[in-house]
Amino acid sequence: MSAAAEPAVPAEGDLELAADQAIEACGGDAREAVKALIVANGFIEAQLDELRTKVSTGYARGRLPQARDRKE
């Protein structure tokens, strides 16, 4: 098992279906779907940053890009 997880690459049909679903969820407006996905991505990145601060450096074994600040 490698230290860095490889992202799963979805099949082309899966991407097309997901894109169609996102556009449909936004009333058929592709621009609104893109904006919604950008907002969702920002939310997920914020959650990831919060979780990174909660993981100890020892547990992560230095694999996380930002080191956790220690309380003195």
CA angle 57, 51, 45 (to 5 degrees): 125
What confidence category does residue 11 fall into, taking pLDDT thresholds of 50, 70 and 90? confident
Distance of CA 54 to the CA centre of its chain: 17
Average pLDDT over residues 30-43: 96
User: Could you tell me how many residues make up the chain?
Assistant: 72
Above 90 in pLDDT, residue 34?
yes
Per-residue model confidence (pLDDT) at position 71: 53
The alpha carbon torsion through 22, 23, 24, 29 (nearest 10 deg) reads 150
How far apart, in whole angstroms, are the C-alpha atoms of residue 31 and residue 45? 21
Between 33 and 54, residue with greater pLDDT? 33
pTM for the model stands at 0.62
